[in-house]
Amino acid sequence: MSIHELLSAGQRDRIQGLELFARQVVEGFCSGQHRSPHKGYSVEFKEHRPYVRGDEIRSIDWKVFGKTDRIYIREFEEETNLKATLIVDSSGSMAYAGQRVATTKHHYATQLAAALAYLMVGQQDGVGVATFDTQVRDFLPARSRMSHLQAICSVLQKRSPGGETELSHVLGGLAKKLHRRGLLILISDCFADVPTLIRALTHFRRAKHEVLVFQVLDPDELDFPFSGRIRFRNLELADDHEEVDAAALAEAYRKNFREHQRQLRDGCGRCRIDHVLMTTDMPVADGLASYLATRRRLA
């Protein structure tokens, strides 16, 4: 499985032109576009400052000393690569594909994850991936090699949706694996208890991770366009169904959904987490481009 199977050529071209700028400087082993809080011996000079006792002798800029007879310390700004982890929801609810869009949410999420991975690897950033339903099913730590991108795509492609969503449990388990600060990208429909989800994400924020939430929904789940007698069969739980008059319940559903979204949006806002709603009728690249453009403006 390769990136070419997940993304079309056009999508790949558009993604290559994108740049993902991390809002925060993250730690990395390689120099790159991301500024590191660590000053060291890098290619880009930052400033001179007067010597103070305790500074390393090797940091003294002897040329300046020779010209000015003053001891200055030469400081460089070091660039490091981004280390991002894609957390992709593979629960049963992600298997839904509406009548208007044939793509399942899971497939859309996979495409989105692949696009992000491709983008980051192209930027020499490290990227890892985790899939989950009730627990973490696959986990690849972050790497920046192109060969790693193939591994990511392979993991995403082979995972099929199923099982219930247990976001809080899953995020708790991932927190133990991600020791260094980085970028955490959750791709899910977020059909979970919002306070619990927000609590789990807050835990990452406290560990200085930047968190992005891409909420992937089918348009049907937004406007509930159904009518007549419908048996709704639960995608996450076998033998669980409800036979309802859809038209009679539509308004109540929409009300509940709006309330859920409001809680999610507010919770993310409070934790300075970007919440990006993407529907499956929206091309992945367009949605991503729109988000990144917005992010660049705000950066």
Partner 1 sequence: MTLLNGLLALGAMAFTIPLVIHLLFRNRFQTLDWGAMRFLRNVVEQNRRRMQLLNWLLLLIRCLIPIFLAFCLARPIVTGWRQPRGDEPVALAVVLDNSYSMTARQEERRDRFAVAVETVRAIAGSLARGSEVVLLTSDGMGRVTDPAGIDSQLDQLRPGGGPFELDTLLGKAIGVLSQSAMANRQIVIVADHTASGFTQAMLDGLPAIRQRIASVTPTPEVVWVDLLGESPSPFRNLRIHSVESEANYAVPGQIVPWMIEAKVDGPAPEKVEFRMRVNGQPSERRTEIVRDGTARAMIPLTADQVGRQVVEVEVAAVSDPQRADWTDDFPPDNRFAVPLRVLEPVEVWLVDGHPTDKPLAGDTDYLTIALSPFATSSTAAGVSPADLFRPRKVRFGRLAETQAAGEWPAVVVLADVARPSAADSKWLVDFVQNQGGTLVVFGGPSIDSQWYDQNLIDDQRVPLLPLRFGEPRTSVAGLAIDETRLTYPPLSLFGTREKGTLAGTSFHGWLEMLSRGGTTDAPADLPPNAPPNAPPNAPPNASADGQAGGAENSTAAAADPAREANVVLRLEGGQPLMAIGASGLGRVLQIASTSNEIWTTLPLRPAFVPLMQRLLLHLSIDQDAGLVATAGEPLVLTGVAPDGEWSVSTPDNKSHRFKPETSLVWTDTSQAGAYRFESPSGEVIWSAVRVPDADLKPAVVDRETRELAAARLGATLHDSLDEYLAADASRRFGRGIWKYLLAALVIAMVLEPVVQQYRSRH
What DSSP element (H or E) covers 242? strand 241-245
Nearest approach, Cβ of 151 to partner 1 (angstroms)? 28
For residue 167, give the nearest of 247, 258, 87, 239 by alpha carbon: 87
Under the rule (CB under 8 A), what is the footprint of partner 1? Answer: 92-96, 105, 189, 191, 221, 226, 228-237, 240-245, 247-249, 252-253, 256-257, 260
Separation between Cα atoms, residue 26 and residue 144, nearest integer Å: 14
Confirm if 292 and 123 have CB atoms less than 8 A apart.
no
Contacts of 286 (CB under 8 A, 6+ apart): none
Nearest approach, Cβ of 167 to partner 1 (angstroms)? 13
Which C-beta is closer to partner 1: that of 94 or that of 113? 94
Separation between Cα atoms, residue 171 and residue 194, nearest integer Å: 13
| Six-digit token string for 83 | 């280390």
Nearest approach, Cβ of 165 to partner 1 (angstroms)? 9
Separation between Cα atoms, residue 168 and residue 266, nearest integer Å: 18
Report the amino acid identity of residue 210. Answer: E
Nearest approach, Cβ of 115 to partner 1 (angstroms)? 23
Nearest approach, Cβ of 236 to partner 1 (angstroms)? 7
Which C-beta is closer to partner 1: that of 66 or that of 228? 228
